[in-house]
Structure 1
Amino acid sequence: MTDQLFGSNVVAMVTPMTPDGALCEPGLAALVDHLLATGCDGIVVGGTTGESPTLTDAEAARLVRAVADRSHGRARVIAGVGTYDTAASADRARAAEAAGADALLLVCPYYSRPTQAGVVAHCTTVADATDLPVMLYDIPARTGTAMEEATLVDLADHPRIRAVKDAKGDLFEAVSVMARTPLAYYCGIDELNLAYLACGATGVVSVVGNVVADRNAELIRAVRGGDLDSARALQRSLIPLVDAVMRTSQGAIMAKAALAALGIIPHASVRLPLLESPPPHLERLASALATVAAPV
């Protein structure tokens, strides 16, 4: 099953950093422990929420190794390896495999805006670089290029391309691709987790899951068990936190602020061009965290 390759309750993990911008090893260990304790069964390392554009190749591999060593097989370790450079992405994929990754997350090439044929060539080249299963990452708001339905259907023929993290938000296209291919879908938009799960998604890749992976686990179980009343109640309980994390500045910034506020990581530090949350955002976040502490 695909959830054995990637998990179902997957978290797009932040990268804990010190105020001077270095990787924070104690924060990383504490965060992995927290994610495992709250029911996360897949951890994306070095993805968008992990501030991948500012990670060096050495840091990316080091993070994969650290998370793999800390998790001891209790969660799938999914390495974000996508860049706008196919050769560099393939190199990162090989380095991630050597560092202990269980799977790869491959974003559509950004900035260069290739043709759909170029997207296919890029993804197949990177998928051919290792023996690891690949989750495609479709997020046109960041990359400038969407993976079109025909492209996803074409890529589904590759034996190692097994899943899609959909941050496009076209639910009809998602169910259409699910009907036409064996690709597993993962919701990459926290605001739409329930909608995607109800339409057949295997799971979620969640930013808010850095804080509430346990609530996401309950949501997945409720949908799989056909208990939509409970699923709706869970989703509604998360609205304030999803709003605060995803709709103020951006997810990586606010997820770190939430984790620091809860004492899980020691610092909310981010690397430029990101900036830490201003006081009004922190006030909104504190209010949201208080609502999550209440029972559903």
Structure 2
Amino acid sequence: MTTDKTDSTTPAPTHAAPFGRALCAMITPFTESGALDLDGAQRLADRLVTEGCDGLVLSGTTGESPTTTDAEKASLVRAVREAVGDRAALVAGVGTADTRHTVELSLQAEKAGADGLLVVSPYYSRPPQDALEAHFLDIADTVGLPLALYDIPGRTGTRIEPDTMIRLARHPRIVAVKDCAYDLLGTQKVLARTELAYYAGCDEYVLALRAIGASGYISTVANAAPRQFRAILDAFDAGDTAEAARLQRRAVPLVEAMMAAGLPGSVTAKALLGALGLPAGPVRQPLRPAGRETADGLRAVYDEFTAG
């Protein structure tokens, strides 16, 4: 009889991590008058990288990209690159509802110094899968940077179906996925048939996706707790799966408070960062700032989370 000598504590192999493992979907700081706060963005970016982030996603959903101008997006990439240098990968959110505009933003981000692009499905128009595929291919064919596809049908109204994802993976510049589809079966199907690097885009899925071969995460909650979320991956990758599970469960109250309380993550992240005295500022309309009671509640949950 043969003996299986496989160490049961050894994590499953993961796909390559082209932008690092621990990424933060960074908020975009504004001044109290609502202008872009580049100094605040540099200070926040430096803190995030110092506290364990391998990469930063700029001008994503959490970065309030629908309300920042093209010029502001480029300025943000340049400023953050100056602040972090080569210590972290910078992934620029460039997705819009217009293919031509997305291509323009992609070329602009490349020129500004981004390392990669986060491209969300065109929203509102809800293109069918063949049109969606053509949209992503047009961008990948035009730019020289690697692309991460952002699958978040709850916001865009359109799923990047697993079969579409598998076809898109054939393009050499389509290398990653930010996964907010809440479809564990579909994710495993793509992981099994492609080399795409999957990043958990929902903080409660960080460990679950890592355990089935994902590369890491792109976290909103990491704006406030970068070191604590990095610790989940570090424990798992060191083979201490029990500790990784404990750390993931410990994060649940903060994840719930920031991401499942009926407010967008940009609102709750800015409220908590402001309560911590970190760069944030107001949100831009149509979003509205969290009230004092919400901010105080977030701070209380954060304090309990970080006390352990």
Short-chain TM bin = over 0.9
Query: Matches of 1:145 and 1:134 in 2, distance apart?
Result: 18
Query: Matches of 1:207 and 1:153 in 2, distance apart?
Result: 27
Please state whether the residue corresponding to 1:2 is helix, strand or coil.
coil
Letter in 2 for 1:224: D
Q: Match for residue 165 of structure 1?
A: 178
- Whether the 8 Å CA contact 1:81–1:106 is kept in 2: the answer is yes
Q: Match for residue 266 of structure 2?
A: 252
Query: Matches of 1:174 and 1:226 in 2, distance apart?
Result: 23
Query: Matches of 1:150 and 1:236 in 2, distance apart?
Result: 32
Q: Match for residue 31 of structure 1?
A: 44
Q: Match for residue 144 of structure 1?
A: 157
The superposition leaves residues 42-76 of structure 1 with CA deviations (integer Å, 9 ceiling, x where unpaired) of 10010000000011111111111111111101000
- Whether the 8 Å CA contact 1:244–1:281 is kept in 2: the answer is no
- Whether the 8 Å CA contact 2:26–2:57 is kept in 1: the answer is yes
Could you tell me the TM-score, scaled by structure 2's length?
A: 0.93
The superposition leaves residues 142-178 of structure 1 with CA deviations (integer Å, 9 ceiling, x where unpaired) of 0000000110001001010001000011111101100
Q: Runs of 4 or more off by more than 3 Å in structure 1? A: none
Question: Quick check: 1:135 aligned with 2:170?
Answer: no
Q: Match for residue 238 of structure 2?
A: 225
Q: Match for residue 240 of structure 1?
A: 253
Could you tell me the TM-score, scaled by structure 1's length?
A: 0.96
Query: Matches of 1:281 and 1:151 in 2, distance apart?
Result: 40
| Structure 1 unaligned blocks of 5 or more | none
Identity of aligned residues (%): 47
| Structure 2 unaligned blocks of 5 or more | 1-14
Q: How many residues align?
A: 293
Query: Matches of 2:203 and 2:158 in 1, distance apart?
Result: 21
Q: Match for residue 264 of structure 1?
A: 278
| Structure exhibiting the larger radius of gyration computed from Cα positions | 2
Aligned counterpart for 1:179 among listed residues 177, 183, 192:
192
Q: Match for residue 18 of structure 1?
A: 31
Query: Matches of 1:220 and 1:291 in 2, distance apart?
Result: 21
CA RMSD of aligned residues (A): 1.1
- Whether the 8 Å CA contact 2:92–2:117 is kept in 1: the answer is yes
Q: Match for residue 209 of structure 1?
A: 222
Query: Matches of 1:2 and 1:61 in 2, distance apart?
Result: 28
Query: Matches of 1:2 and 1:122 in 2, distance apart?
Result: 25
- Whether the 8 Å CA contact 1:240–1:291 is kept in 2: the answer is no
In the TM superposition, what is the alpha-carbon distance from 1:225 to its structure 2 partner? 2.2
Query: Matches of 1:167 and 1:280 in 2, distance apart?
Result: 29
Letter in 1 for 2:128: T
- Whether the 8 Å CA contact 2:275–2:296 is kept in 1: the answer is no
Query: Matches of 2:277 and 2:95 in 1, distance apart?
Result: 31
Aligned counterpart for 2:73 among listed residues 60, 66, 82:
60
